[in-house]
A and B are shown apart, each in its own frame.
Chain A
Amino acid sequence: MNILIGTVLIGSGAIWLWWQLPNDAWRSASYRASLDTFLFTAPRVIVALLGAGFFAELLPEDEVRQLLGAEAGIAGILLAIALGPLTPGGAFVSFAIGAAALKAGASPVAAIAYVTSWSLFSTTKIFAYELSFMGRQATLTRILVSLPVPFVIAAMASLTG
């Protein structure tokens, strides 16, 4: 169901955008760029999803429940936040790991804390791109002000959930 809703929304966005292309020159430029993006993305998606499937199989359920489950409490949230930055690769890797951990018994709040921490502090993003484009001071300032966010969001999520 989720997949269907997302497909309809993204599909409508794509059709609207196609409508904005004024003529054949723009359309063929768009197709060329799409093909290039596809060739870049497809191998990554396939390899990442396979990897996530393998690692979900290897995750020891007892340990996951013990370390990241609801009973783990604040320690579980802290561990989830610490694991976020260590996740290599793109968005699908972190979401797939979050889904695998949920299946193995991690608490929803831990999954939210993990995804938030990955979003803000992914070391791949910071070291490969942010430091070189933004410079050290801007990067450190952003990290510094963002540090409380995963904790605040996890606290609010555990209050609402």
Chain B
Amino acid sequence: MPSLKNIAADLPPVQKTRRVFDGSFMVLLVLTLAGGVAVGVVSGWARVGQILIETFEFIAMLAPKIGAGIFIAATLPILLPRERVGRLIGRESGVRGLVVAAACGAALPGGPMMTFPLAAGLGVAGADLGAMVAFISGWSLLGLNRTLIWEFSFLPSDLVWTRYLLSLPMPVLLGLAARAVMQRRLA
């Protein structure tokens, strides 16, 4: 892990703001409204109100965790710029490089709009496709922020543990498989 301490003299990087209402949010909104209307027609509008109350109670219970998770997801990219993560993964090679890439993928919070640009930048930093695949798979299968905030909140913990432990070796194996595919293509 690169040191975070020698940054006091620098200014924090400027972050871009994101559009709140985009296409995928609209799809989600329309699906939810349709679901609400369907419940109202099938089970009655009282049931719709009940689901509204239950959902907001659930959100209130999750609020501290979501708040802390949002702070981490917003702050870590400021402290740990993607160029630095890229260099860290790029200078490793072999299986060790895949392990580092998978671990970085699992540890870095943030959605696809953060992860894929970073993964694409790994190539520039010297990483191969195997490391990119290990990084993306580490984020997809083992993302800590997502599992701790969302998965453990919704699903039974034994199920989450089973899934997580079985997935643990996958990013490195997928990285090796991607390397094998690339070698075959070049041969």
Contact = CB atoms under 8 A, between A and B. Distances in A.
Given A2-B157, A37-B70, A157-B162, A48 B59 contact: no
Interface in B130-154: 132-133, 136-137, 140-141, 143, 145-146, 148-154
> Interface on chain B toward A: helix, strand, loop, or mixed SS?
helix
B159 A111 contact: yes
A25 B11 contact: yes
Contacts of A124: 24, 112
> Interface on chain A toward B: helix, strand, loop, or mixed SS?
helix
A129 B79 contact: no
Interface string A108-123: 1001100110011000
Contacts of B7: 22, 26
A9 B148 contact: yes
B39 interface: yes
Interface residues of A, number: 82
Contacts of B51: 50, 53-54, 57
B149 A10 contact: yes
Contact of A54 (B32, B78, B117, B148): B32
Interface of B: 4-5, 7-8, 11-15, 17-18, 20, 24-25, 27-29, 31-32, 35-36, 38-39, 42-43, 47-48, 51-52, 54-55, 58-59, 61-62, 64-79, 111-113, 115-117, 119-120, 129, 132-133, 136-137, 140-141, 143, 145-146, 148-157, 159, 162-163, 166-167, 170, 174, 177-178, 181-182
Interface of A: 1-3, 5-7, 9-11, 13-14, 17-18, 20-23, 25-26, 29-30, 32-34, 36-41, 43-51, 53-55, 57-58, 88-93, 95-96, 98-99, 102, 108, 111-112, 115-116, 119-120, 124-125, 128-130, 132-134, 138, 141-142, 144-146, 149, 153, 156-157, 160-161
21 contacts: A2-B152, A20-B4, A21-B79, A25-B12, A26-B78, A33-B77, A36-B17, A41-B70, A43-B20, A48-B32, A49-B58, A50-B55, A55-B35, A58-B38, A95-B153, A112-B166, A130-B136, A138-B133, A144-B181, A145-B181, A146-B137
